[in-house]
């Protein structure tokens, strides 16, 4: 149930700001010891949920603990006027910077919202023309989209034959599958899922690799957005000079 | 009712150029065209006056558009009051909204440009790789040389597409950042998250937990 709420915090500084706002703390006089402990608790929870996101939080937690430790020690560093430097100063500076920036981002959102109500010449035509055949943007496809499509097909693929405990040679080769794929796309573009319905896992996987390979050689185009878990393939006119030697 | 006087040729030319162009035109673009056609230099300030005069006509005539500074130059743009009518022409504008992480990174670039990735990461406290890639792909930022600092990291700056997305004529039109004291003393600074807190406390802490704070409740 914590997951939903951690989503509210975009990053490690947001989590810190959350504590400050929640307890209505004076940002120039943060009770570091308490906040550091609380922060660490939150990061532990986060770590259990999402290790990737936790890395940035762990860094900030470490920073807080370091400041907490420095607060306990005699202050050795002095500023230009010979005054002892508050170990929190740099963090506070960053937080203030971040607060201003977030406000800038919010103002930009307002500006974008206003802009959305204004239309310029030529826009309508572009939109209308683009809408039916939008997918001319191969970069929109992330690797994760493709992997997700592969996963969908694999789950649907024909069950592997009963285990025979014999090691057989991989029965599909990449260049065979490249040829197979090009032939299959000869007439018209097809969706990846439709193309491989009922095929076995080795067949699907090698064909997937063949599709990536052909896309890289610009012999097929990958068109994303058919459904979230599928993509389409079609023959592409090869570039005048193939990049591969 | 008197018919309005015909436009002077100069204003007519400005209007025609802005009307026919699909991209924003800057005063220097207009000046270059007119210099070529008429063989005489036009002061750039004259274009401000012409645009102003045209806009006054549009307003007086009750027209649906004005000339606005958008994306680094002037364009004809419809009045925002007509948005409900025009929106029906646009099948899809999902792409125009940015996620928080993209927006934050974009704001750092916008206000600090030219800026390096380490600087952006530092302000946000997170790795901005993914966000920067998204912004580059959308054409909202671009690489603007390299910094002289150690490792010569790439510098990022906003593009005209950024200005257009936010309805800005130039970077001078960026919303001014308020002074930090002003933000901190703004009552909404604390109130905004108090609401969040009560939700968090309600969900995260079982009823009766002494640690659950609900300042607004």
Per-residue pLDDT at B197: 57
Q: Residues of B with CB below 8 A from A100's CB?
A: 177-178, 180, 183
Kindly state whether A115 is in contact with chain B, defined as any CB-CB distance less than 8 angstroms.
yes
pLDDT tens-digit series, residues B155-175: 999 998 899 888 888 888 888
Q: How far apart are the C-alpha atoms of B109 and B123, rounded to whole Å?
A: 11
Q: Residues of A with CB below 8 A from B131's CB?
A: none
> Which of the four pLDDT bands, split at 50, 70 and 90, describes residue A125?
low
Kindly state whether A98 is in contact with chain B, defined as any CB-CB distance less than 8 angstroms.
yes
Residue of A16, A22, A60 to mutate, testing the B interface (most B Cβ within 10 Å of its Cβ):
A22
Percentage of chain B beyond pLDDT 70 is 82
Task: Give whole-number Cα distances, A175 to A211, A245, B1, B50, in Å.
Answer: 11, 16, 79, 65
Q: Is the pLDDT of residue A138 over 50?
A: no
Q: Taking a C-beta distance cutoff of 8 angstroms, is the pair B24, B73 a contact? A: yes
Residue of A23, A118, A126, A128 to mutate, testing the B interface (most B Cβ within 10 Å of its Cβ):
A118
Residue of A2, A41, A117 to mutate, testing the B interface (most B Cβ within 10 Å of its Cβ):
A117
Partner-chain contact B165 A112, CB within 8 Å: yes
Nearest Cα residue to B27 out of B67, B81, B56, B61: B67
Can you read off the two tokens belonging to residue A79? 């500023």
Nearest Cα residue to B165 out of B193, B135, B186, B185: B135
**Chain A, chain B: beta-carbon pairs less than 8 Å apart:** 159
Task: Give whole-number Cα distances, A122 to A148, B47, B90, B159, in Å.
Answer: 36, 23, 12, 20
Kindly state whether A19 is in contact with chain B, defined as any CB-CB distance less than 8 angstroms.
no
A 44-63: CB under 8 A from B:
56, 59-60
**Shortest CB distance from A100 goes to which of B80, B122, B177?**
B177
The mean pLDDT of A99-115, rounded to a whole number, is 88
Kindly state whether B110 is in contact with chain A, defined as any CB-CB distance less than 8 angstroms.
yes
Which residue in chain A has the smallest CA separation from B124? A98
How many angstroms separate the CA of residue B1 from the nearest CA in chain A? 31
Burial of A245 per CB tally in 10 Å (0-12, 13-18, 19+): exposed
Per-residue pLDDT at B203: 58
**Mean pLDDT, chain A, integer:** 74
Kindly state whether A12 is in contact with chain B, defined as any CB-CB distance less than 8 angstroms.
yes
Q: Which range, of A149-158, A182-191, B141-150, averages the lowest pLDDT? A: A149-158
Partner-chain contact A99 B90, CB within 8 Å: no
> Which of the four pLDDT bands, split at 50, 70 and 90, describes residue A1?
very low
Q: How far apart are the C-alpha atoms of B78 and B93, rounded to whole Å?
A: 17
Q: Taking a C-beta distance cutoff of 8 angstroms, is the pair B132, B143 a contact? A: no
**Shortest CB distance from B78 goes to which of A2, A12, A118?**
A118
Q: Which residues contact B203 (CB under 8 A, 6 or more apart)?
A: A1, A2, A4, A5
Q: Residues of A with CB below 8 A from B124's CB?
A: 11, 13, 98, 101
Nearest Cα residue to A106 out of B169, B104, B181, B168: B104
Q: Is the pLDDT of residue B210 over 50?
A: no
Q: How far apart are the C-alpha atoms of B157 and B116, rounded to whole Å?
A: 9
**Shortest CB distance from A114 goes to which of B110, B126, B167?**
B167
Kindly state whether A194 is in contact with chain B, defined as any CB-CB distance less than 8 angstroms.
no
Q: Taking a C-beta distance cutoff of 8 angstroms, is the pair B140, B164 a contact? A: no
Partner-chain contact A100 B180, CB within 8 Å: yes
Residue of B110, B124, B125 to mutate, testing the A interface (most A Cβ within 10 Å of its Cβ):
B125
Kindly state whether B76 is in contact with chain A, defined as any CB-CB distance less than 8 angstroms.
yes
pLDDT tens-digit series, residues B95-145: 567 888 888 999 999 999 899 999 999 888 888 888 899 999 989 999 988
**Shortest CB distance from B111 goes to which of A104, A119, A121?**
A104
Highest mean pLDDT among A124-128, A191-195, B5-9: B5-9
**Mean pLDDT, chain B, integer:** 82
Partner-chain contact B175 A98, CB within 8 Å: no
Per-residue pLDDT at A73: 79
Q: How far apart are the C-alpha atoms of A97 and A127, rounded to whole Å?
A: 39
Q: Is the pLDDT of residue A75 over 80?
A: no
- Does residue B165 sit in helix, strand or coil? helix
Task: Please report the ipTM that was assigned to this predicted complex.
Answer: 0.70
């Amino acid at each position: 149930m914590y997951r939903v709420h951690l989503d509210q915090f975009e990053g490690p500084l947001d989590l810190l700001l959350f504590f400050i706002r929640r307890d209505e703390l004076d940002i120039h006089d943060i009770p570091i010891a308490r906040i550091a402990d609380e922060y660490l608790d939150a990061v532990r929870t986060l770590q259990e949920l999402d290790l990737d996101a936790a890395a940035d939080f762990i860094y900030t937690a470490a920073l807080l603990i370091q400041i907490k430790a420095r607060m306990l020690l005699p202050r050795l560093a002095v500023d230009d006027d010979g005054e002892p430097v508050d170990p929190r100063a740099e963090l506070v500076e960053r937080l203030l910077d971040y607060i201003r920036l977030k406000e800038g981002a919010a103002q930009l959102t307002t500006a974008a919202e206003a802009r959305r109500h204004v239309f310029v010449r030529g826009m309508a035509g572009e939109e209308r023309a683009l809408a039916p055949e939008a997918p001319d943007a191969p970069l929109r496809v992330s690797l994760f989209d493709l992997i997700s499509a592969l996963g969908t097909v694999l789950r649907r693929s024909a069950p592997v034959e009963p285990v025979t405990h014999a090691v057989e040679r991989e029965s599909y080769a990449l260049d065979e599958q490249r040829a197979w794929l090009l032939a299959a796309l000869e007439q018209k573009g097809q969706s990846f899922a439709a193309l491989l319905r009922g095929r076995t896992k080795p067949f699907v996987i090698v064909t997937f690799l063949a599709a990536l390979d052909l896309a890289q050689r610009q012999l097929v185009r990958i068109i994303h957005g058919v459904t979230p878990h599928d993509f389409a393939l079609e023959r592409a006119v090869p570039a005048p000079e193939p990049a591969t030697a | 009712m008197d018919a309005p006087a015909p436009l002077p040729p100069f204003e007519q030319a400005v209007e025609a150029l802005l009307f026919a162009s699909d991209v924003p035109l800057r005063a220097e673009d207009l000046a270059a065209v007119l210099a070529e056609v008429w063989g005489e230099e036009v002061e750039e300030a004259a274009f401000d006056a012409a645009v102003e005069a045209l806009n006054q006509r549009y307003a007086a005539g009750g027209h649906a558009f004005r000339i606005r500074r958008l994306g680094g130059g002037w364009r004809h743009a419809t009045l925002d009051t007509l948005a409900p009518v025009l929106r029906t022409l646009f099948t899809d504008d999902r792409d125009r909204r940015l996620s928080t992480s993209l927006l934050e990174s974009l704001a750092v670039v916008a206000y600090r440009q030219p800026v390096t990735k380490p600087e952006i990461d530092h302000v946000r406290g997170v790795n901005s790789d993914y966000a920067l890639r998204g912004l580059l792909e959308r054409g909202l930022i671009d690489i603007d040389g390299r910094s002289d600092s150690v490792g010569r990291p790439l510098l990022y700056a906003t593009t005209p597409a950024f200005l257009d997305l936010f309805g800005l004529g130039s970077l001078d039109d960026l919303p001014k950042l308020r002074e930090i004291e002003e933000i901190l003393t703004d009552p909404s600074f604390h109130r905004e998250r108090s609401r969040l807190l009560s939700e968090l406390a309600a969900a995260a802490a079982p009823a009766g937990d002494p640690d659950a704070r609900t300042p607004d409740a």
